[in-house]
């Protein structure tokens, strides 16, 4: 037995944590299969130029006006793009603007009364209502809804045309298809960063709280076990699992979406470990006292949910107001995701991400020490 490091104790604890982990099929699903499925779903959704559906309600604002009369009052709306006259009983029309370069836009018009239109708007089934009042088209929509804004802009452009041939040409539009500029290039490094956070936070924190709740920690410290081996071995197993999970996700993205790592692999490895250290420290801190799994759930969610929503994993956090961005960019997940993106798509090397590595590592150590200081074994 080594005087300074009892390898056997560390090894039996590592085996224990590892077996516990791999024998739980749900762990493998959430850790490996789910991130791959998410990247597949989002990658396809944002890489294929699918038809853009615009759902519009056409109404008559005069109360109690007969619906068929309303329809009759609006044929001009459709004359631009709908060759046939509106059949009397028909209340739905679709019109499609074909565009190979930008993708098709399909307008779905629903002839409705005002009240019906409002109900559909509340349900999210339509997002713009138009009516013709005093020979002028009027648009009703929520300007805070970007989809409604977009529908309004496209529709108002169309309705102001004298004929369809006047539709704005897309000759001056060039599709940007350089490596690293697609949505999926933005997504994969973010998903990898989020996977590290989720795996460490749930795996470490929940594992510790559950064992404390089951009095297993209490039983184990009644042996000659060195206490820090327990935490180190749990941490070690999680890092190994994270490595496997991240590798599978990245390899999948390389094969399915032709993702490339433009920067330094060494930098990526260093950032990966720094991220694990940061969230490992946070996980120990979060789980240092409670023995109630319900409280543990709440605490872990309190840490991971805001970061998951606002650290720019799925969409850029720069869409938030500047004051919020100035806070968000210092969250550990934002730092990790940004530095991973800089390596994946901007070609960053070790020097460019060295500050990130130091900041994440120090964050981890500070929380780790604070967590250990107030750690309850029972």
Partner 1 sequence: MNQDIVVKVENVFKSFKTVKAVNGLSFEIKAGEFLALLGPNGAGKTTMVEMIEGIQQPDRGKILIGGKEWKNNSKEIHQFIGLSLQETRFIDKLTVRETLNVFAGLYGLNKKRVDEVIEIVSLEEKQKAYVVNLSGGQRQRLALGIAVLNNPKLLLLDEPTTGLDPNARREVWHILQKMKNESNISLLLTTHYMEEAEQLCDNIIILDHGKILQEGTLDKLIEANGGKEIIEVTFKETISEDFPMLDTNLYHFDWDKTAQKAVLKLNDVDAGLKMFMSSIEQKGLTLSTFVSRKTTLDDLFITLTGRHLHE
Using CB under 8 A, list all residues that contact partner 1. 1, 6, 8-9, 11-13, 15-16, 19-20, 23-24, 214-216, 218-220, 222-225, 378
User: Which among 71, 111, 118, 68 is positioned nearest to 93, based on CA atoms?
Assistant: 111
Q: Smallest distance, Å, CB 222 to partner 1?
A: 6
**CB of 24 or CB of 166, closer to partner 1:** 24
Q: Smallest distance, Å, CB 27 to partner 1?
A: 10
**CB of 182 or CB of 211, closer to partner 1:** 211
Angle at 82 between CA 78 and CA 85, to 5 degrees: 85
Q: Smallest distance, Å, CB 225 to partner 1?
A: 5
Beta strands across the sheet bearing 136-140: 92-97, 105-112, 52-59, 128-133, 136-140
Q: Smallest distance, Å, CB 318 to partner 1?
A: 44
**CB of 9 or CB of 150, closer to partner 1:** 9
CB 374 within 8 A of CB 288: yes
**CB of 13 or CB of 209, closer to partner 1:** 13
Pairwise CA distance, residues 364 & 348, whole Å: 23
Print burial letters for 219-244: b (CB count within 10 Å at least 16), e (below 16): ebeeeebeeebbbebbbbbbbebbee
**CB of 19 or CB of 258, closer to partner 1:** 19
**CB of 221 or CB of 370, closer to partner 1:** 221
Q: Smallest distance, Å, CB 19 to partner 1?
A: 6
Question: Which pair of tokens denotes residue 308?
Answer: 């998951």
Q: How far apart are the first and last CA of the chain?
A: 28
Q: Smallest distance, Å, CB 9 to partner 1?
A: 6
């Amino acid at each position: 037995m080594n005087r300074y490091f009892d390898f056997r104790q560390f090894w039996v604890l590592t085996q224990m944590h590892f077996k516990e982990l791999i024998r739980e099929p749900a762990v493998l699903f959430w850790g490996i299969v789910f991130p791959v499925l998410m990247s597949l779903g989002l990658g396809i959704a944002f890489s294929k130029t699918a038809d853009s559906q615009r759902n519009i309600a056409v109404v008559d604002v005069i109360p109690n006006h007969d619906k068929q009369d309303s329809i009759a009052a609006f044929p001009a709306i459709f004359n631009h793009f709908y060759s046939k006259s509106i059949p009397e009983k028909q209340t739905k029309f679709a019109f499609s603007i074909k565009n190979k370069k930008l993708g098709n836009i399909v307008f779905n018009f629903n002839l409705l009364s005002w009240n019906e239109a409002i109900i559909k708007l509340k349900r999210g089934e339509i997002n713009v209502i138009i009516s013709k009042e005093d020979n002028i088209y009027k648009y009703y929509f929520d300007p805070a809804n970007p989809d409604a804004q977009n529908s309004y802009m496209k529709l108002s452009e169309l309705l102001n045309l004298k004929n369809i041939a006047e539709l704005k040409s897309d000759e001056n539009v060039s599709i940007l298809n350089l490596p690293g500029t697609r949505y999926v290039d933005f997504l994969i490094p973010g998903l990898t960063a989020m996977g590290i956070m989720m795996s460490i936070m749930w795996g470490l924190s929940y594992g510790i709280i559950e064992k404390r709740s089951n009095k297993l920690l209490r039983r184990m410290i009644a042996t000659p076990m060195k206490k820090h081996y327990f935490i180190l071995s749990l941490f070690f197993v999680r890092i190994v699992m994270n490595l496997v999970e991240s590798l599978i996700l990245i390899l999948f993205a390389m094969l399915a979406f032709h993702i490339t790592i433009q920067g330094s692999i060494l930098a990526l490895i260093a950032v990966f470990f720094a991220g694990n250290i940061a969230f490992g420290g946070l996980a120990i801190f979060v789980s240092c006292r409670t023995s109630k799994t319900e409280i543990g759930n709440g605490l872990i969610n309190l840490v991971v949910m805001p970061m998951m929503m606002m650290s720019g994993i799925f969409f850029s956090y720069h869409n938030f107001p500047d004051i919020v961005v100035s806070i968000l960019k210092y969250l550990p997940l934002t730092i990790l995701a940004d530095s991973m993106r800089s390596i994946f798509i901007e070609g960053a090397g070790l020097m460019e991400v060295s500050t990130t590595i130091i900041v994440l590592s120090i964050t981890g150590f500070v929380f780790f020490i604070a967590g250990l200081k107030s750690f309850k074994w029972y």
